Structure 1
Amino acid sequence: MNDRFTLAVTGQSLIKHDIRDIPAPAFVEVQLLLRQADLSFTNFEGTILGGHGGWPLKGSFFGCSYPVVLDTLQGIGFQALSLSNNHAFDLGPSGVLSTLEEVEKRGFLHAGLGRDHGEVSRASMGTIAGRQVAIVAMDGGPGPDFMYASDADDNRPARPGVNRLRLSQVIEVDETAFDQIRAIRDTIGYTAIDLTNDSQPDDPQHPATDTEIGISRAVFRRSQSFGRSVKIDEADLARNLASIAAAAKNGSLVIAYLHHHHWASDWYQVPDWVSGVAKRCIDAGAAMFVSHGAPVLQPIEIYRGRPIFYSLGNFIFHVRSEKSTWTAPEVWESVIGVCAFAGDNRLAEITLHPVVIGGDEALADGVLERRLAPHLATGASAKRILRRVSEQSARLGVDIDISGDVGVIRF
């Protein structure tokens, strides 16, 4: 085993175009950074329109890409992909099969999609630069039940799909409001059969009898105050933790990955449940936890000497101006985290390299179609991005030393 192994992680890559011929020097520097790492990892935020065809299963937030985008990701330096996200099923099982076929054809180390539940539940493993690396990639939705992989039984064929961490959103209300909602339910005669019908095509949820009420797709929980929370399916989490533990037991450097859209109302706040999942993944043996979903850079935490990247925001983000609400500058800014591990998979150092999608000029002109490739940030932009992540991470006890255009976390 090599004494030192470097792993670069980036924001998610929602990619529609081949950007390899963009000559901007700041983009060339990004590619050099990715290629210099032993392994570079991103989330491919999409599905491939390939040999298996497919049909749109979404409305305005639908998206698919042609296989050339995988050549692009590989060409700029990525060797590992998460495929678990809210766009992975936008073409249905056909898109899942095309994505798997094209990703495997190019030799990516990948996780998060599978031809059935058994395949998607296993950690994906490979040997990179003499180091055994494994990925367990989950998606927390929200998404319909039918986007997640399932095994065959006597009555149903297997379904290709995404690796699930089932999460349920719960609306918390105080005692008075809870009693009012219960009275409304009872007055209109809303029954368990109604709940089942209204949940289709998904299976109905099963609210706790005394403390929760289900109406349509909403679950209300009796609480001391008003708020929202997320309920984690412990069986799903235990299955994924077992995959992490098995890979770690074999000596692999394990990347635990989660994509979700259960954000806090303030995108920069990390929900408690995410922190809990991240730490349980590390307790199970993961060398690092990486997450995407909230489209901004969130804080970094170090837990038991291992990094938690709560959200790395966007790295490639191909959206159209007339359809996008993602206009805040922070949506287009992130960092590349280069993590250096010692021979025993112990973290030695993290170097943070700030990026601006499209560069400062494209960020200023407001034309989203010009923001095609990530540029290495320098000067005031680099300081702004690093200062923001440094201030956020300091609240979690992480000290980021900013030197010039780079941030460093040392151990």
Structure 2
Amino acid sequence: MPSTFTVALTGQSLIHHDIRTCTDPGFLQIVETLKTADVAFTNFEGTILGRHGGSPMKGSYFGYSDPYVLDALKQAGFNALALANNHAFDLGPQGILSTLEEVRGRGFLHAGIGLDRDHAVSPGMAAFGDRVIALVAMDGGPGPRTMYAENAGYRRPSRPGVNRLEVTRIFEADQAAFDMLETIQTTFQSSKLERANYAQPDDSPTLDDEKEIDFYGTIFRRANTNRRVVAIDPDSASSQLAAIARASSDGQFVIAYLHHHHWEPNWRDVPEWVRAFAHACIDAGARAFVSHGTPVLQPIEIYKRAPIFFGLGNFIFHTEKGETEWSLPDVWKSVVATCEYDPAGSLQIDLLPVVLGGEDRIKDLDFHERYVPVAAYGKTGEQIIDDLAERSSVFGTRIERNGVIGRIQIS
């Protein structure tokens, strides 16, 4: 009979510095928590500059890491990494090759990038004790089509890249707004060929000519109200869900992972399309759903006895000196969620509050010096759990505080 099984899940790890020499007791306690778990998971938010080299594919939001950061994550206790995110292609296909090589060499369970689309969508699999864990990791963008893995086709070689969940952003506009947009577009009328030129490297979108216009790269749809709509391509969703279902049917414990930047105006809010997709992943057989991208902690839902972490925020978030866009205190607060699965069917989730850089620095402006998360046992830690409990209650989740630790109990 299977034994009790624990999975520790953290916020995303955007890591550029070597943290192996850190001796902060609050960080070392987190390390102990991760090392005690059977599976310790994070999203490696980056790409490796390794043997295959690479070139910058972005402007100011470009970044890469040296291979030793993977050693640092390993020493911190992690043994499972999602690799699908908006920084995974920052060095192009060569960065994908180097990242795969370095991650494999260290024995991480990993998923989310690949040599082509079929490879990228395939679950990563590894045995932990008496269980086989499958990880399906995907990125929902927004990002250029060229960052995503592609199979070979007629006169087209395969492309290493990221596993893509194809998501489209559409703005619905009322009659007045839509007429104004059409007027502007007519004033600066361009041919289909010119629109195609400016659409590169992507293809021009397919439109409903009666209701939609491509307004210089953004789709607007005639409607009765003004709002943003995010829609998942059904075929793309089906391929991801099929990968989850196949792994689940083989008896594997499946973790589904989604990275995206289609945030709500209030970063703390859960996009409805993400919730619907998370439910679909659980329905397909995933035992846990985890998401990152929004750099703040979002609510937790229990759906069909499986935890859904809509956003675990940041675990490691290395910034450059002078970056000020991350001054929101919530960016530096998160939890480590340890899920204990009992063979009898019960589930207990312990939530350890953490503050990147420590509680005493939460109001400082030294963002670039906050190298590691620290367990938060003071007032800030209590506030993190109480706030998360209040927001998660909207989804029917009950979080109780056991000291500073938050706890979810599913009998």
Same fold (TM over 0.5): yes
Moved more, 304-313 or 353-362: 353-362
User: In the TM superposition, what are the counterparts of 1:158-237 in structure 2 within 5 Å?
Assistant: 158-237=158-237
Q: Is the 8 A contact 2:121 2:138 kept in 1?
A: no
Give the SS at the match of 1:142.
Answer: coil
Number of aligned residue pairs: give it: 410
Displacement of 1:342 in angstroms is: 2.6
* Aligned equivalent of 2:67: 67
Equivalent-residue separation in structure 1 for 2:198 and 2:102 (angstroms): 37
Contact 1:295/1:313 (<8 A) preserved:
yes
Aligned position for 2:263: 263
Within a 5 Å distance, the mapping from 1:12-411 to structure 2 comes to 12-343=12-343, 346=345, 348-411=347-410
Uncovered stretches (5+) of structure 2, i.e. residues with no partner: none
* Alignment check: 8 A CA contact 1:362 1:370 kept: no
Residue 361 of structure 1 and its aligned partner are, at CA, apart by 2.6
**Identity across aligned pairs (percent)?**
49
Helix, strand or coil for the counterpart of 2:289?
strand
> What is the CA distance between 1:120 and its match in structure 2?
0.7
What's the CA shift for 1:258?
0.4
Give distance in 2, aligned partners of 1:364 and 1:273: 34
Could you say what secondary structure the match of 2:225 adopts?
Answer: coil
**Alignment deviations for residues 148-202 of structure 1 (CA, whole Å, 9 cap, x no partner):** 0011123011110000011111111112222332344345434433332221111
Give yes or no for contact 2:171–2:219 (8 Å, CA) kept in 1.
Answer: yes
Measured in 2, the distance between the counterparts of 1:187 and 1:66 equals: 50
Is contact 1:2-1:129 (8 Å) kept?
A: no
**Native 8 Å contact 1:244 1:281 kept in 2:** yes
Distance 2:68 2:316 in 1: 15
Q: Counterpart of 1:93 in 2: which secondary structure?
A: helix
What's the Cα RMSD here? 1.3
1:117-166 superposed Cα distances (whole Å, 9 cap, x missing partner)? 11111111111121111011010111111100011123011110000011
Residue 347 to residue 84, structure 1, CA distance change in 2 (3 Å): farther
Structure 1 contact 49–98 (Cα < 8 Å) conserved: yes
Aligned residue identity for 1:328: L
Q: Take 1:96 and 1:44, find their aligned partners in 2: how far apart are those partners?
A: 13
Identify the range of structure 1 (305-314 vs 145-154) with the bigger mean alpha-carbon deviation: 145-154
* CA distance in structure 2 between the aligned counterparts of 1:347 and 1:174, rounded to whole angstroms: 49
* AA partner of residue 63 (structure 1): G
Q: TM-score scaled by structure 2?
A: 0.97
8 Å Cα contact 1:84-1:163 kept in structure 2: yes
Q: Aligned partners of 1:194, 1:178: CA distance in 2, in Å?
A: 22
Greater CA deviation, 335-344 or 92-101? 335-344
SS at match of 2:6: strand
Superposed CA deviations along residues 39-59 of structure 1, whole A, max 9, x for unmatched, are: 100000000000000111111
Q: Cα offset for 1:267?
A: 0.4
Structure 1 residue ranges (4+ consecutive) displaced by more than 4 angstroms after TM superposition: none
Q: SS of 1:63's equivalent? A: coil
Secondary structure of 1:137 counterpart: strand
- Is the contact made by 2:11 and 2:334 (CA closer than 8 Å) also made in structure 1? yes
Residues 307-346 of structure 1: per-residue CA shift (max 9 Å, x gap): 11000000000002302410111100000011111337x4
The amino acid of 2:363's aligned partner reads A
C-alpha separation in 1, matches of 2:326 and 2:394: 27
Q: In structure 1, how many angstroms separate the alpha carbons of the residues matched to 2:335 and 2:346?
A: 18
- 5+ residue gaps, structure 1, are none
CA contact (8 A) 1:306 1:347 kept: no
Using the alignment, how far apart are the partners of 1:188 and 1:18 within structure 2?
Answer: 52
Q: Secondary structure at the match of 2:169?
A: strand
